[in-house]
Structure 1
């Protein structure tokens, strides 16, 4: 009799445990099904103003409720949700560029002379390429914000860079103005670089692996900084800020060139660009009459092309013949996280569809 009771009790206990286990599994299944994906458009509510170019060269369109596990997704650092832009050193590119990008491009364009347009962002750079030629100015760098022309030569009146040499704790933030070259031949175009924190573009290594001095006032990987870009009535105003760093401001006229003669070309340009034949002058009216637009994300400036082709822009970095997994595994990629962003689009802005239809077709 006692054995029967023990057996009965055991059966009841087993049944209860099985039932509870089933309930727990069912609960976990329901939780998994109801767990909400956090999209980039949930983190920063401005994605209706952009199209997204991915690190494989494709145009993903307006990225609302969109993610791509390799290039564009969200992460939480324990305090905040961030939008992650990630792109390798080598792979398919967009338009005529040599470089991969996971980057937003504004769906509208505006004209500097009548503009009243603004872009702000708070971000941190999490990775730049682990390889490259230190003598090449673009090595180990990523562009995190731009103004791009949709017309003419499609040059860039603004590129905001982050660059860090391997093994160093701190990197540099600097910005570029690219001339809008006079005439039909754009091969003579060049950039002028202005340092924000740390070095500017012109500070390069003595040899392929001998790096310049680490910047004392630089920005580390994972350290937040913010930028504000405003273009109004032809004048571009920039502001850069970061905790424990001095806020820096700059102003640049986009409709009246200061580089319209050979004599006006700065020494920095003569040192970097003249040796490779890039010695053009700018249109007197600079970017007047050209539609411009903002870009934001990770535009990787490190690529696998030989430095013999161009000693400023061709890094000779590792690309594993475009193998994405191998590049991500050994640090040959750029990754940038954005926490906040805002965009103000003026009433004078018009559709930028012509830029996309032209450059999406380039292979």
Structure 2
């Protein structure tokens, strides 16, 4: 069976929202009326800005009818390739963006061709009705050191945004690689579809994991030691994506899901690790073993806040991982502080973890909690609760996630903003965004990779105790 992205997508995402936006923004009823415009690369101007702003979907894009063959849709295709740009010659050329419905916007990001050698000049305007326009950015300039020039402003209600090109410091060409609109509210909320016909039709219980999921950019750690090196075995990309399964730890379930099963004991990935895992590790090299697994190279990615040299050397910039899964079983024996907890997704850096996403269900509770740790580079963990409590004596969370209940998570990083979203059918999205600008991951030499699976956080349980997690969708992407 051919591997396609449709096998790994079970999430329907309309737009990333924040839930704490306030203020109605400026009046956009007449041309030129607006809140005070900001200059390029400014920060949010007031406390009522969207603090957890997410990228909004552009449903249609057009220009003023003149371009050199580099069409307007190139500016919203998530590609930073030189040939994937919108180019139009002349002062005042317009790129027109339609979000399809009215939303609160608070930030526009633009990435311009050759921003390291020349400065692009532009303006940004918004409109609710495509007739009356307000100025958001009056004197925008491209940023020579960052991937995006970021223009933030007081929240404003709009459906349409237009970028007005004013040429660049060398000539009157307007060459835009990518544009993103960020904001919140007013758009159909994010929803998850972790079960039902679309998913059931793509997962075949009679096939090995790699025929249901694209595993070409992952390897997996198994708590066995077949090569006798004293550490857990790592099954590399090509072997993993060629039908590999292990009946005790990693296999296709009766419903076609991807099963990760791990006990309290077994071989570990390193001497610094206390717990066993059956866990996928992102490998952007996709089987090209001439590329090292470690370092700022084409196998790993960096944050958008990393130095320009690291962004150029890495396999990706910023990252997004989405998964649909169910926790089938957690540990029930052992030390009280370890019982019932498992890590189901994380970002790993050189030595530390910018995020570890936990599920935990205590023996006396019917539902489990979800929370995450943000580990400072070379420092301590900072904990953030999403659903329920991480306490060793937590009461049953009424809005918690039960065993075998499918849910979806999304981990997203843009620059120094780290966001986590939890999606469940028929329930409100739960999200948390944190600023990690002081966490030390924007230093040179820091590289990242995603991990997903079952990282058992109990090494004190009885020998026959175990944790099991089943994934129904998994995808990862980078700029």
TM-score if structure 2 supplies the norm length?
0.48
State the Cα deviation string for residues 29-68 of structure 1 (Å, max 9, x = none).
Answer: xxxxxx99511112222x1111110132211112111100
Q: Aligned partners of 2:205 and 2:413: how far apart in 1?
A: 38
String of CA shifts for 1:175-210, please: whole Å, max 9, x gaps. 1111112xxxxxxx42222111211x3x123xxxxx
Alignment of 1:303-322 (within 5 A): 303-304=459-460, 317-319=461-463
Cα distance in 2, alignment partners of residues 36 and 166 from structure 1: 30
C-alpha separation between the residues in 2 aligned to 1:287 and 1:233?
Answer: 9
C-alpha distance after superposition, 1:289-341 (max 9, x if no partner)? 3001100000000112xxxxxxxxxxxx223xxxxxxx1xxxx1111000011
| Equivalent of 1:148 in 348, 368, 374 | 348
User: Which residue of 2 is the match for residue 268 of structure 1?
Assistant: none
**CA offset at residue 146 of structure 1?**
0.4
1:252 is aligned to 434
* Structure 1 residue 244, shift from structure 2 partner: 3.8
Q: How many residues of Structure 1 are paired with residues of Structure 2 in the alignment?
A: 238
Q: 1:240 to 1:60 in 2, by over 3 A?
A: same
Could you say which residue in structure 2 is the equivalent of 1:228? 410
**What residue is the counterpart of 1:336 in the other structure?**
469
Partner residue of 1:106?
A: 282
After superposition, give the CA deviation of every residue in 1:97-147 in whole Å (9 maximum; x if it has no partner).
11000000111211112523211100000011011222x2x4310000000
* CA positional deviation for 1:90: 1.1
Structure 1 segment 119-130 matched on structure 2, within 5 A: 119-130=321-332
1:302 matches 2:461: no
Per-residue CA deviation, residues 245-303 of structure 1 (Å, 9 max, x unaligned), is: 3211222233x21xxxxxxxxxxxxxxxxxxxxxxxx6xx3453300110000000011
SS in 2 for 1:51: strand
Q: What's the secondary structure of 2:397's corresponding residue? A: coil
SS at match of 2:234: coil
Q: Which has the higher contact order (CA 8 A, sep 6+)?
A: 1
Taking the TM superposition and a 5 Å limit, the aligned residue runs for 1:167-316 are 167-181=364-378, 189-199=379-389, 201=390, 203-205=391-393, 212-254=394-436, 256-257=437-438, 285-289=440-444, 290-304=446-460
Tell me if structure 2 keeps the 8 A contact 1:91–1:100: yes
| 1:43 and 1:339 in contact (8 A); partners too | no
| 3-state SS of paired residue (1:238) | strand
Which sections of structure 1, spanning at least 5 residues, go unmatched?
1-34, 182-188, 206-211, 258-281, 305-316, 320-326, 347-363
Look up the match of 2:20.
Answer: none
Structure 1 vs Structure 2 CA RMSD: 1.9
Q: Summarize deviations over 1:57-105 as a string: whole Å, max 9, x none.
A: 211112111100011000133xxx2000111111111112110000001
SS of corresponding position for 1:130: coil
CA distance in structure 1 between the aligned counterparts of 2:476 and 2:441, rounded to whole angstroms:
24
- After superposition, the Cα gap between the structure-2 partners of 1:142 and 1:227, relative to the gap in structure 1 and judged at 3 Å, is same
Question: Aligned pair in 2 of structure 1 residues 180, 166: CA closer, same or farther (>3 Å)?
Answer: same
Name the residue aligned to 1:84: 259
What is the TM-score normalised by the length of structure 1? 0.62
Q: Find the partner of 1:73 among 246, 251, 270.
A: 251
Residues 1:38 and 2:207 are matched in the alignment: yes
